[in-house]
């Protein structure tokens, strides 16, 4: 589908511009102090890729016992956080290719949803807002969830959410134009509306 392809390319181009040229989403990330020492501790204690939370959550069968009480006390006092750890390193090529593929899939799904709702989206700005709303929804159910439950900093959440919102606004501008209603579809919509009026108010002359 043309709309999905152009929408996916728009998402990919904005991602490149946002992270490589502007670099403002990554500006909300902070650097480790004394990084070499911290990394030595991590390498010595973490041996598998994964997400590690601290303080560590006790086993569920110990819930209600002394270990859970100690965990709750540690969490209230702090520090509290999580570490995304990959011991073997990571290059940039595969994530870029995978990111473009994900953008194409997401834009194609957005195009299908927009097409499904096309009988309500007669105007260009309505289609733009519909696609934009999909992006806002995605930001709310992803980054807002991380902000709430995993204590992502406000600046980081706002930067990532704004990045998503801008990318889908631009995508909506492109896809709204690509999904311009065809005359045949307009005729079908007009016939449908006329049929509704005929059912409600009798024959239309």
101 pLDDT exceeds 90?
Answer: yes
Helix (H, G, I), strand (E, B) or coil at 63: coil
pLDDT of residue 204: 37
CB 110 within 8 A of CB 134: yes
User: What's the mean pLDDT in 18-32?
Assistant: 76
User: What's the mean pLDDT in 117-130?
Assistant: 88
**Sole residue written with tokens 């059912």:** 199
Q: 52 φ, ψ to 5°?
A: -115, 125
pLDDT of residue 130: 94
- Residue 172: count other Cβ atoms within 10 Å of its Cβ: 26
Burial grade of 160 (CB within 10 A; 0-12, 13-18, 19 or more): buried
pLDDT of residue 84: 87
CA dihedral 181, 183, 189, 192 (to 10 degrees): -170
203 pLDDT exceeds 80?
Answer: no
pTM, full prediction: 0.73
Return d(Cα 121, Cα 116) in angstroms, integer: 10
Distances (CA, A) of 13 to 4, 92, 93, 162: 14, 16, 16, 16
Q: Which of 13-17, 195-199, 200-204 has the lowest mean pLDDT?
A: 200-204
**Domain extents for the chain?**
2-30+90-181
Residue 84 β-bridge partners: 51
pLDDT of residue 12: 92
- 159-185 pLDDT, tens digit each: 888 889 999 999 999 988 887 665 444
Q: Which of 67-81, 112-126, 173-187 has the lowest mean pLDDT?
A: 173-187
- 38-63 pLDDT, tens digit each: 899 989 998 888 888 888 877 765 56
Provide the sign of the torsion angle of the four alpha carbons 52, 96, 1, 143, taken in this order.
positive
pLDDT of residue 131: 94
Tokens of 64: 């209600």
């Amino acid at each position: 589908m043309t709309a999905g392809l152009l929408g996916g390319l728009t998402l990919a181009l904005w991602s490149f511009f946002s992270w490589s040229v502007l670099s403002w989403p990554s500006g909300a990330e902070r650097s480790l102090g004394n990084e070499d020492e911290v990394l030595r501790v991590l390498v010595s204690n973490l041996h598998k890729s994964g997400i590690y939370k601290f303080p560590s959550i006790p086993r569920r069968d110990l819930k209600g016992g002394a270990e859970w009480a100690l965990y709750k006390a540690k969490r209230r006092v702090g520090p509290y956080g999580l570490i995304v750890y990959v011991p073997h390193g990571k290059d940039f090529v595969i994530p870029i290719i995978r990111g473009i593929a994900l953008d194409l899939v997401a834009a194609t799904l957005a195009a299908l949803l927009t097409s499904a709702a096309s009988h309500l989206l007669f105007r260009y700005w309505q289609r733009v807002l519909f696609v934009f709303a999909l992006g806002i929804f995605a930001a709310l159910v992803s980054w807002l969830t991380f902000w709430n439950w995993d204590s992502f900093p406000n600046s980081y959440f706002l930067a990532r959410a704004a990045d998503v919102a801008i990318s889908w606004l631009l995508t909506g501008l492109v896809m709204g134009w690509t999904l311009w209603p065809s005359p045949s579809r307009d005729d079908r919509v007009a016939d449908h509306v006329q049929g509704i009026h005929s059912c409600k108010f009798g024959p239309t002359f």
